[in-house]
Copies of this chain bind each other. A is one copy, B any other.
Amino acid sequence: MQIYDNPSRDRWEELLQRPASDLGKLEATVREVMNRVKEEGDAALREYTARFDGVELDDFSVPAATVEAAADQVPDDLKRAIQTAHDNIETFHRSQQTQVEEIETMPGVRCWRESRGIDRVGLYIPGGTAPLFSTVLMLAVPARLAGCREIVLCSPPDRQGNIHPAILYTAHLCGVTRIFRLGGSQAIAAMTYGTATVPQVYKIFGPGNAFVTVAKQLALLQGLAIDMPAGPSEVLVCADAGAADAHVAADLLSQAEHGHDSQVVLVTDRREKAEGVWQEVQRQLAELPRRELAAQSIANSFALVFDDWSEAADYVNAYAPEHLILSLADPRSFAGQIRNAGSIFLGYHTPESVGDYASGTNHTLPTYGYARQYSGVSLDSFVKKITFQELTADGLRNIGPAVETMAEAEQLRAHRNAVSLRLRDLPS
């Protein structure tokens, strides 16, 4: 782990870089998958599932009986943990519901907003060695709270054609309405266009590999909404003298174990802290089951020493980290200076992993610098806010002349007429 001591600003640009991503080269392949699913529907899904997942499936949907039976295959302690996480996530996301507040902008002119759940949403849950039931919680809990009528979940089948029972169990707990054994870009294509089996959705959520990422981009160009652009996960840890080296090292490693392209940055106000943490990283790394993956991203990681914490805050804002851990004695005052981050973890007792699973905040967050312009997933991600306005006759009398003047200045006579004719017909 390279340590940079008070790097001058002209060196920052290189210290803000993320791993290069070259998704463009996948575009032709994914476009073909999308087009074939659009044209051939379920037949194309069957062929791709056989090719990419190694299993022949007649029916992609998971029967209700299978979903219900999954509970028997999930250990009780895991069920209790999932329930705890579920309840916290539900509590926090429910607090994001807004009351309708009618505003009288002028006498007789009332405006307000009301939220409506997106009718049909699609959740993509990747497969692989570990079942990402936590992501099911993070997407399905707010979807249900938002009032989405159909919550469709796609996740790739294993070679026996199954989805991990922890995923099925969690999906059932959270009110997912339909579950399909479909993975990769073909799953995104199915939800984008709809097939005889899979319903078309209006917005697609969830992480995935590069093929899934490109497919979501293409879905976006088809007019679907997506949660946010994807990128490798990352953490930036700010640690002062009071932070335990072992804790900081564990935080860095918890991000590094996600994959070889994960980003891990340490910011501190003393060089000894960086050195101490680095020793702890090496010690803990050797014990990790996923040490090979973690070692690759640790190799690209670095530490920055800033004598001045306000300089550090500028660097953090320029970096715009997905996860920002503030292992500081006074984390709130530093957090007040942060404008760009996905989620912030305050104090010595708040590791990122509590937010990844169970504190209640959402773990679907903007990475790769996108925290400059995107928020993480929240209840807002699953609703549209419709604006309303209602005028009384007096309201129209009050606002009408301004509208007439502006419409005329924009040379839109019919806009003016819609007001003038109503004013003419009002009882005097």
The residues of A with any CB-CB pair to B shorter than 8 Å are 77-78, 80-82, 84-85, 87-88, 91-92, 95-96, 98, 101, 103, 105-106, 109, 111, 113, 116-119, 129-134, 166, 202-203, 217, 220-221, 223-225, 229, 244, 246-247, 250-251, 253-254, 256-258, 284, 287-290, 294, 331, 335, 338-362, 365-366, 368-376, 378, 380, 383-393, 395-396, 399-403, 405-407, 409-419, 421-422, 425
Contacts and interface: CB of A to CB of B under 8 A. Distances in A.
A96 B380 CA distance: 13
Most buried by B among A81, A95, A392: A81
Contact of A344 (B361, B368, B388, B422): B388
A353 B403 contact: yes
A338 B250 CA distance: 50
Contacts of A416: 353
A342 B289 contact: no
Contacts of A113: 96, 378
A346 to B, nearest CB: 4
B409 A78 contact: yes
With a 10 A CB-CB cut-off, give which of A87, A256, A344, A358 has the most chain B CB atoms.
A358
26 contacts: A78-B406, A88-B106, A96-B113, A98-B98, A105-B360, A109-B359, A119-B339, A119-B372, A133-B406, A134-B410, A223-B368, A225-B374, A244-B425, A250-B414, A250-B418, A253-B417, A288-B413, A294-B414, A335-B388, A342-B387, A343-B386, A343-B387, A347-B391, A350-B391, A353-B416, A376-B387
Contacts of A366: 384
How many subunits of this chain does the assembly comprise? Answer: 2
A320 to B, nearest CB: 9
Contacts of A395: 349
Contacts of A345: 388-390
A116 B340 contact: yes
Contacts of A251: 418
**Looking at chain A's contact residues, is the secondary structure mostly helix, strand, loop, or mixed?**
mixed
Given A118-B373, A133-B406, A357-B403, 15 more contacts: A77-B405, A85-B402, A88-B399, A109-B360, A118-B372, A130-B411, A223-B229, A246-B425, A253-B414, A254-B412, A290-B411, A351-B419, A372-B384, A374-B384, A376-B387
A144 to B, nearest CB: 16
Contacts of A229: 223
Contacts of A402: 80-81, 84-85, 357-358
Contacts of A116: 338-340
Contact of A357 (B85, B98, B378, B406): B406
A389 B343 CA distance: 8
